[in-house]
Chains A and B, each alone.
Chain A
Amino acid sequence: MSLRSRIASETAIVLATLAAGLAVGAAVAAGFHAPPLRVMATMLTSWRSLPDVVAEYSAMLALTGAAFAVPVYAGLFNIGAEGSFQLGALVALWAALKWGGLAAPIALGVAAGALLSGLAGWLRVRLSVNEVLSTIMLNWIVYWLLLYLVATKLEDPYNPQRTLEVPRSSRLPWITIGSTQIPSTIVIAAAVLAVLWVFLRMTRWGLALRFAGANEWTSRTRGVNVGLYRVASMAVAGLLAGLAGAIHILGYSHAIDVIGGAVKGFGYNGIGVALMGRNDPLAIIPAAVLFATLLTGSSLVEPIYGVPKEAGDFIVGVIVVLLAVPEAFRLLSRLRRR
């Protein structure tokens, strides 16, 4: 199969999956006695009414998507972007309140995320602890600690529903395009993903990382330290998710609410984004924009049509299940040719 026909078939798979996901969404809307086509249309055009939200979600999902994708190249499944994201946000908030400025909050947020995922990578390589398990456990641990700190040490005494706000000196600027304003996090995310793409596709270390994931044996015989690459891939993943959490708090939400709503779900939805983007850092960007549009749109349809916003999560889940079965798609296309 040539490169071009491979790209064509991957694209076809992704589009078919998307169509199936949207059909499920329409069915859910119908189940809630809402007009399916109008509900889906509202969902898919959410960028018109909420451009800043869609931009911010796109940036976050692109980074957490990359946090899932990078370890996949090394042969690992990182479900821990959720925890790294939340820890990055929490640490950045704390550092911003303590010292202000941008350097310390971002650096510490990134480092915290990298350490958390790196720990899961290390447990896998040194102690054979399955990384899916360890990252899920770490997610839950971070989640409860976050809720604890939000409601105690970081609480805003005048507004007990949330934390203190990030000081002015620690906020990332917004960008004005015509009459709309969007957060600058989208620029950071795009730049990071471009660098990542070059690293994976065009450097010797990127090649070694991909071989380490695809074929441990041959990598070892060529002197590639597979364990090191695996831990590093997890640390990089944590770095990406931690960065996302940090710039989310500094550039967009500025505070965390007592149920953690401001920082929830980005990591888990990033998995779907990475799968839809076929783990390619550049293809992840449009996938992130699409998921951001859908998820923003699902909160938009709730007040209008009475379809709960969880419909968005459900659609994402269905899309992920379907993306697990490329073989099934190939089977179908072969049957059709016959």
Chain B
Amino acid sequence: MTPLEAAIVGVLGLNAMVTIALTAMGEVIAERSGVVNIGLEGILLASAWLAVYADIATGSWLAGYLAGLAMGAALGLMHAAIAVYARGDQIIAGVGLNLAAAGGTTLGIRAVWGNYGQSPPVASRPPAFDVLGVRVSYMVPLTFLVAILAWWLLERTEWGLRVKAVGDDPRSADALGISVERTRLAATVLGAALAGVAGAYMSIDYLGSFVKLMSAGRGFIALAAVAFSGWDVLGALLGSIVFGLGDALSTYYTTIRGSSAAAYPYRTIPYILTLLAVSATAWRARMPRALGRPYKRE
């Protein structure tokens, strides 16, 4: 790899980072409140699909982004209803969401575009700029801005304090006059909405179309970034940059080998990298203490 190629891989990595980072930071917020959403993969897919649909239907990329955001928020609302109000099993609900979204979006391709594998290219792609001849989305700098905002929200506001209180000790939070349910609902919906934006980015911005099962485990890589970060927004951003680079490396090697089977082993890079990173750091992580546990006054 020449220095120029390395730099290009770096830029590609930043593009790939956006999906993981937005999803991971949203999930940090949700998990700090005590709600796990394993269904991020499904949210990415569903919102990516809807974003392309909306983009093509209206001819506006902004409508695409808004549609992704709305889909994310709606699925977050559903997850919160199950996890917070119905006190269902959060992991199982998430697994189900992933299965349903995988089936549902594939059905959606057939229903809307009449083929088995992908949508046509989007009608309107968001504006972007060039770095070393690579298209870079404005979402890249925006992601860093979102990181700062999310950090400020969690660490510097009373709402952030409430989120942490319900995530660590809901019984005490309740006794302090905080509504555990409403706080968790808000955090879950906000987190899922960010994943929705990430999904829209992935389809209309990063790739320019919707492809069957295109998220390829990125929702789970985002979950890995959350664990890697020790439930911290900025740590999650850092993890996402690393995992985004893994993604870019995989793309780089796959591309220079054409699309032949010889390139397949390189496709495993992001997953191996993620597994190694989490294995090296998970033991020290400080999980929110009531993570995944529904709250019920006895």
Partners in one complex: yes
A residues near B (Cβ < 8 Å) are: 28, 31-32, 77, 79, 123, 127-130, 132-134, 136-138, 140-141, 144-145, 147-148, 151-152, 268-269, 271-272, 275, 308, 310-328, 331
Given A140-B271, A147-B261, A324-B96: A317 and B111 interface contact (C-beta under 8 Å): no
Chain B: residues with Cβ within 8 Å of the partner, total of: 47
B132 an interface residue at 8 Å Cβ cutoff? no
Which residues of A lie under 8 Å from residue B220 when comparing CB positions? 132-133, 136-137
Q: How far is the CA of A302 from the CA of B87 in the complex (A)?
A: 37
**18 contacting pairs across A/B (C-beta < 8 A):** A28-B107, A134-B278, A136-B217, A137-B217, A138-B275, A141-B268, A141-B272, A141-B275, A148-B262, A148-B264, A151-B264, A271-B99, A272-B99, A310-B103, A321-B96, A321-B100, A324-B92, A328-B86
Kindly supply a per-residue 1/0 record for chain B positions 186-222, scoring 1 wherever the CB is within 8 Å of any chain A CB and 0 otherwise: 0000000000000000000000000000001100100
User: Is the pair B285, A152 in contact by a Cβ cutoff of 8 Å?
Assistant: no
User: Is the pair A317, B264 in contact by a Cβ cutoff of 8 Å?
Assistant: no
Option from A151, A152, A269, A317 in Cβ contact (under 8 Å) with B97? A317
Which residues of B lie under 8 Å from residue A151 when comparing CB positions? 261, 264
Distance to closest chain A CB from B89 (angstroms): 5
Distance to closest chain A CB from B59 (angstroms): 25
Q: How far is the CA of A32 from the CA of B114 in the complex (A)?
A: 11
Distance to closest chain B CB from A47 (angstroms): 22
Within 8 A of A (CB), among B1-44: 38
Which residues of B lie under 8 Å from residue A319 when comparing CB positions? 96
Which residues of A lie under 8 Å from residue B111 when comparing CB positions? 31-32
User: Is the pair B224, A133 in contact by a Cβ cutoff of 8 Å?
Assistant: yes
Q: How far is the CA of A79 from the CA of B88 in the complex (A)?
A: 19
User: Is the pair A140, B278 in contact by a Cβ cutoff of 8 Å?
Assistant: no
User: Is the pair A325, B82 in contact by a Cβ cutoff of 8 Å?
Assistant: yes
Given A151-B261, A268-B99, A311-B103: 16 more A-B contacts, CB < 8 Å: A32-B111, A127-B282, A128-B282, A136-B220, A137-B272, A137-B274, A140-B216, A141-B271, A148-B262, A148-B264, A275-B92, A310-B107, A310-B110, A317-B100, A320-B92, A324-B92
User: Is the pair A133, B223 in contact by a Cβ cutoff of 8 Å?
Assistant: yes
Given A129-B278, A138-B275: A308 and B110 interface contact (C-beta under 8 Å): yes
Which residues of B lie under 8 Å from residue A317 when comparing CB positions? 96-104
> Which B residue's beta carbon lies closest to that of A329?
B86
Option from A134, A138, A323, A327 in Cβ contact (under 8 Å) with B96? A323
Given A133-B278, A327-B86: A140 and B217 interface contact (C-beta under 8 Å): yes
Which residues of B lie under 8 Å from residue A148 when comparing CB positions? 261-262, 264-265
Option from B86, B95, B216 in Cβ contact (under 8 Å) with A325? B86
User: Is the pair A144, B103 in contact by a Cβ cutoff of 8 Å?
Assistant: no
B171 an interface residue at 8 Å Cβ cutoff? no
Within 8 A of A (CB), among B73-99: 82, 86-93, 95-99
B240 an interface residue at 8 Å Cβ cutoff? no
Kindly supply a per-residue 1/0 record for chain B positions 265-279, scoring 1 wherever the CB is within 8 Å of any chain A CB and 0 otherwise: 101100110110011
Distance to closest chain A CB from B252 (angstroms): 16
Which residues of B lie under 8 Å from residue A321 when comparing CB positions? 82, 93, 96-97, 100
User: Is the pair B264, A145 in contact by a Cβ cutoff of 8 Å?
Assistant: yes
B residues near A (Cβ < 8 Å) are: 38, 82, 86-93, 95-104, 106-107, 110-111, 116, 216-217, 220, 223-224, 227, 261-262, 264-265, 267-268, 271-272, 274-275, 278-279, 282-283, 285, 294
| Residue from A138, A144, A311 whose CB has the most chain B CB atoms within 10 Å | A144
> Which A residue's beta carbon lies closest to that of B276?
A137
Given A137-B274, A311-B103, A317-B100: A323 and B92 interface contact (C-beta under 8 Å): yes
> Which B residue's beta carbon lies closest to that of A275?
B92
Q: How far is the CA of A313 from the CA of B91 in the complex (A)?
A: 19
Q: How far is the CA of A155 from the CA of B110 in the complex (A)?
A: 31
Which residues of B lie under 8 Å from residue A141 when comparing CB positions? 268, 271-272, 275
Which residues of A lie under 8 Å from residue B223 when comparing CB positions? 130, 132-133
User: Is the pair A308, B95 in contact by a Cβ cutoff of 8 Å?
Assistant: no
User: Is the pair B96, A128 in contact by a Cβ cutoff of 8 Å?
Assistant: no
User: Is the pair A152, B261 in contact by a Cβ cutoff of 8 Å?
Assistant: yes
User: Is the pair B88, A324 in contact by a Cβ cutoff of 8 Å?
Assistant: yes
User: Is the pair B96, A144 in contact by a Cβ cutoff of 8 Å?
Assistant: no
Q: How far is the CA of A138 from the CA of B279 in the complex (A)?
A: 13
User: Is the pair B106, A313 in contact by a Cβ cutoff of 8 Å?
Assistant: yes
User: Is the pair B279, A311 in contact by a Cβ cutoff of 8 Å?
Assistant: no
Q: How far is the CA of A194 from the CA of B201 in the complex (A)?
A: 49
Q: How far is the CA of A130 from the CA of B93 in the complex (A)?
A: 17
In the A-B complex, the 4 residue pairs with the smallest Cβ-Cβ separation, listed nearest first, are A317-B100, A313-B103, A320-B96, A317-B99
Given A137-B220, A148-B265, A328-B86: A132 and B91 interface contact (C-beta under 8 Å): yes
Which residues of A lie under 8 Å from residue B91 when comparing CB positions? 77, 132
Q: How far is the CA of A137 from the CA of B246 in the complex (A)?
A: 13
User: Is the pair A140, B268 in contact by a Cβ cutoff of 8 Å?
Assistant: yes
User: Is the pair B271, A311 in contact by a Cβ cutoff of 8 Å?
Assistant: no
User: Is the pair A137, B224 in contact by a Cβ cutoff of 8 Å?
Assistant: yes
Given A272-B99, A311-B103: A144 and B265 interface contact (C-beta under 8 Å): yes
